[in-house]
Structure 1
Amino acid sequence: MSTAKLVPVKKPSKQPVNPDGIVIVVHGGASRRGQMMVSPTQLSVLRMIPLARRLARAGKGRLAVYRLLNSYRGWDTHHTPVHDIEWAISRVAELHGVDVPVALVGHSLGGRAAILAARLPAVRSVVALAAFVYPADADGLGLRDRWILFVHGVRDRIAPVQRAEALAQRLARTNEVGFLAIRRGKHAMLAEHGTFERAASDFVTSTLLGTSPGTRSGSLVARILGGESYVRT
């Protein structure tokens, strides 16, 4: 049983009842001894709030955006964040209907969980931000026909960019995968935070709503959707 929580970015009265798409934002955070509960004030949770708000603004009333607070910190072997995402998707289906497509946006271990949970039928796209992953995560996943964007800082010393690149290459065999390498980016996404957030927003609105990020200066996602599988800032 999940003890996770879904937090709507907008007040329930302002959240679209019949959205065209649903976004679930998943935080990261290192493991702690035992099954330590997630605090809504921990840094890994707080850093996702501006991103979630940006996604809601970009949706212009067409997206229902939620932040997921996982049951436990880190990656508990008995109950991983993947289980919490599964619960969250069943919950948003109750709220908005089973046919509404879902995008998962996760940071660090949340990015890993988002990729592993992308096998669920409701998921159309995934944004993995500084994802703490392993190339072997693709083994047995059977993931097909998903839109996946990796956004990773080249200077990330916690989640090596090489592991994310290797996983992206494997997933690209059966999915539409793009990789955005941020030259000055680090794991916390403080440096170049605007690039991380803009990429996630552009990719989600494009894959869920069919809107185009356009060709304005800095629209890196437009290049990826235009056919470039690997873009480096």
Structure 2
Amino acid sequence: MADREAVRGASERGRDAPGSGRCTVVVLHGGKAEGREPARPWQPAALRMRPFATALRRALPSRSAEVVPVRYRYRGWNGSAADPLQDTLLALDALAARDGDRPVVLLGHSMGGRAALRAAGHPTVRGIVALAPWCPEGEPVAQLAGRELVILHGDQDRVTSPDASWRLLTRAREEGAVASGVRLTGGEHTMLRYAGMWRRLAVGAVTGLLGAGPLPPEVAEGFTAPEPVAVGAGRATRTG
């Protein structure tokens, strides 16, 4: 397993130092496996991420930090076309053209989590926070080498598989990612149950990866725990 501080030190060379405030969070909403109908901002998958974006804007300094939601062209992943991934990479390229190597953290839910994981190899990406990500078997992980990764997944999710998330986390660590897993006991896919806990952990993970605040204790523990840290009923315990 890669050491978090060593990876962070390497990633900061040539970038804005953490806490300097110059940073961007790219927010990626969910979708579905197939679908060429246009993605709209009032659809539930997009609305689901608005409270996270709002909380991040409050948590980060507005003069030098930016929260950027990506609107996909289509609602579906669409097989090998991987349309949301292409949209994410285009957005990252546009931000890099404007801001140079300003560090980016990707925050994605469900299909957006899959897009975030796939886009991790972009040179501006410092870290990824994936919420209940869609992790089909055989997803690539080489692009996660040297990146900081946090996966949050509810154990009652019936849409995407928490076990698949933990398998991907293990493979990412083997590839050289610095990764933390947190299991929300009783949490489900929409993130409505325990919504406050989802937001606290996600926002804290993003600001922590950017060096703009401390990591939530559960997320910090997850970087060194061999298994995902289980959170529920107001306290954290290790799974296993």
2:201 is equivalent to residue 202 of structure 1 = no
2:133 is equivalent to residue 131 of structure 1 = yes
Distance in 2, matches of 1:90 and 1:144, equals 20
User: TM-score, normalised to structure 2's length?
Assistant: 0.81
Q: Match of 1:45, as an amino acid?
A: A
User: What percent identity do the matched residue pairs reach?
Assistant: 32
Cα 1:92–1:185 change in 2 (3 A) is same
User: Are the aligned partners of 1:19 and 1:64 in contact in 2 as well (CA < 8 Å)?
Assistant: no
Q: Match of 1:224, as an amino acid?
A: G
Question: How much has 1:19 moved relative to structure 2?
Answer: 5.1
Question: How much has 1:55 moved relative to structure 2?
Answer: 1.0
Question: How much has 1:31 moved relative to structure 2?
Answer: 4.3
Distance in 2, matches of 1:148 and 1:55, equals 18
Cα 1:207–1:108 change in 2 (3 A) is same
Question: How much has 1:177 moved relative to structure 2?
Answer: 0.6
User: For 1:171-217, what per-residue CA distance to the aligned partner results, in whole angstroms no more than 9, with x for missing partners?
Assistant: 01111011100011000100011121111111111111252136xxx
Question: How much has 1:221 moved relative to structure 2?
Answer: 2.1
Distance in 2, matches of 1:133 and 1:191, equals 22
More helix by share: 2
User: For 1:36-91, what per-residue CA distance to the aligned partner results, in whole angstroms no more than 9, with x for missing partners?
Assistant: 10011100000101101111111133421011111100202335211011111112
Partner of residue 94, structure 2: 91
Moved more, 53-62 or 80-89: 53-62
Q: Match of 1:228, as an amino acid?
A: A
Partner of residue 222, structure 1: 220
Distance in 2, matches of 1:32 and 1:100, equals 33
User: For 1:82-130, what per-residue CA distance to the aligned partner results, in whole angstroms no more than 9, with x for missing partners?
Assistant: 10111111122233x1110100000001001100000111101001101
Q: Match of 2:225, as an amino acid?
A: E
Q: Match of 2:72, as an amino acid?
A: N
Q: Match of 2:92, as an amino acid?
A: I
Partner of residue 75, structure 1: 77
Question: Cα RMSD over matched residues?
Answer: 1.8
Distance in 1, matches of 2:44 and 2:212, equals 33
Which of residues 158, 161, 179 in structure 2 aligns to 1:177? 179
Q: Match of 1:156, as an amino acid?
A: D
User: For 1:148-172, what per-residue CA distance to the aligned partner results, in whole angstroms no more than 9, with x for missing partners?
Assistant: 0000010000101111111111001
Q: Match of 1:170, as an amino acid?
A: R
Question: How much has 1:138 moved relative to structure 2?
Answer: 2.6
Distance in 1, matches of 2:219 and 2:93, equals 29
Moved more, 150-159 or 54-63: 54-63
Q: Structure 1 unaligned runs (5+)? A: 1-17
Q: Match of 2:132, as an amino acid?
A: A
Partner of residue 5, structure 1: none
User: Are the aligned partners of 2:85 and 2:119 in contact in 1 as well (CA < 8 Å)?
Assistant: yes
1:52-201 alignment runs, 5 A limit: 52-61=53-62, 62-77=64-79, 78-95=81-98, 97-138=99-140, 141-173=142-174, 174-201=176-203
Moved more, 39-48 or 85-94: 85-94
Number of residues of Structure 1 aligned to a counterpart in Structure 2: 208
Q: Structure 2 unaligned runs (5+)? A: 1-19, 232-240
User: TM-score, normalised to structure 1's length?
Assistant: 0.83
User: Are the aligned partners of 2:21 and 2:212 in contact in 1 as well (CA < 8 Å)?
Assistant: no
